Structure 1
């Protein structure tokens, strides 16, 4: 789970939330509590890794989660080991 930085500025929060909303629009996904928790956590992790622009975050979220199905708890991911 993400380590939420409480010192984020409103501009940073806006970039993060816009990236998550853009991912939903791109994937024609209806937000659920579970999907939003996962996407927001991933967005904060990426932000903390130095990806600070909306464009970077959106691209990385779309790459990491290529469809709404990829957000399901038991969905295979690129980090799965076979």
Structure 2
């Protein structure tokens, strides 16, 4: 697995809304972004790994759907999240 338990816990604590939050769209997008970053680096080294490419495309699509939901429901949190993660240049 790409993300260690400690790194995942750290991401959750950075992006959560409340103390017991681990499933808000912000947390999910942050975790997906970390996995996408890892797989992107993996794909640079292994260009013909088509199974990982398919998984990467699925993760990107899932993140796009979550960002679309967040953009439609709470525009301020969406803008803050993409600025914090460095998405959408």
Query: TM-score band (shorter)?
Result: 0.3 to 0.5
TM-score under structure 1 length normalisation: 0.36
TM-score under structure 2 length normalisation: 0.34
Rg larger in structure: 2
Larger helix percent: 2
